[in-house]
Structure 1
């Protein structure tokens, strides 16, 4: 008679500070043990370690139980993204556990869509466009697709784009679909307040299949994407892991403009 093998719980820490939301979660095998989020980008550097400590305490987690750390690497706020990445690398080094960097836009796409379909009840083939405002009419964005509630698949890379040109490109992409009826809906999710008017231009192509949904990132979706990588045996080089800035800082840009 064979004994049933006991599966060791895979508990991880997930965090992201690439947006105005400082968000931290402890996950175990796809389940959230505890999650905390705070809005207010200026406080991220002050609050992150105390929130990590609180989330660990409330979830009954000690660092020796953690099997890895998943951290959002942007794109997003230049200063904000560095805070989470630095914290994650420091903790991973101190606790001697692996760290994986996760696209913050992928996490926004996953989280925004998942929460939206919970409300709307839609769960078929969709395109998802995550948005983070990058000022001057620009957005950090990408394009994903998903069927049902599966992890979104990437169609276009993370990049900083002019919102007007991005929407024009999406319109052309819709025009060239071989079977437009296969696309159930297109979802803009994330930081949409300044860009809703431009996104609405796709209404003529999609009608009520266009959805524009505000969403603040939750660390659980960074964690779900991180668990997938860790379960596949992946990890990032602790010293080589850096934020995905996608553009020059304003100081660097000004320096290049000087004669």
Structure 2
């Protein structure tokens, strides 16, 4: 774990949007405050802090102007971790990969003095931790995240109207084997969230390369079916899974949501680089 953390120490989570709410922090807000980022001048109003009077401007204009600066706010980072049964699959395992990426995002967030909330979603949304601050709290997250189990189905529609999400940056980590992703993203976008969707699949879901008679079992419903697999069936499947990936990418991109696709055999550091890079 320590080596993993050293590898991501330099990564930064940023947001494309100015922050409206949040405590005092190190991010640019939409309002005016006391940061060192100069915004502009306005006419002096009785009661203004006289230390902000621009005396050079007074010499030029013989009018009193005060200097204004952008405020600094703390960014709220939300992680929504898909904990459905379908995530508990693959070599390497999708849920284990998602947990490590969750820990990575958590560490980066707390390391840069922002606020962190982590939620799990399947047939219900559970608050794993909320409004965590301070790098020293990171190690308290390791066991709760590792103990997350994959069960039931995921219903992204639950995110519509979910008011616990803090305004800021939201990461959704999922295999996206669920309906209503569009509905969820529309709601989150309407609330001004800056969203990143990390789409994780296992290598055998991309290219199963099975042959002969096999028994397919739905890991979420336990329904099963015997099928005969040959090259033609494999080719049809590969085309469908590619279409599935492209569809989810389009759903995200048409809403200005950052979409990152990864298989579980990609190393964690590379995945974190992809989801934190500025685009």
Q: With the length of structure 2 as denominator, give the TM-score of the two structures.
A: 0.29
State the structure with bigger RCO (CA 8 A, min sep 6), 1 or 2. Answer: 1
Instruction: Please identify the structure whose Cα radius of gyration is greater.
Output: 2
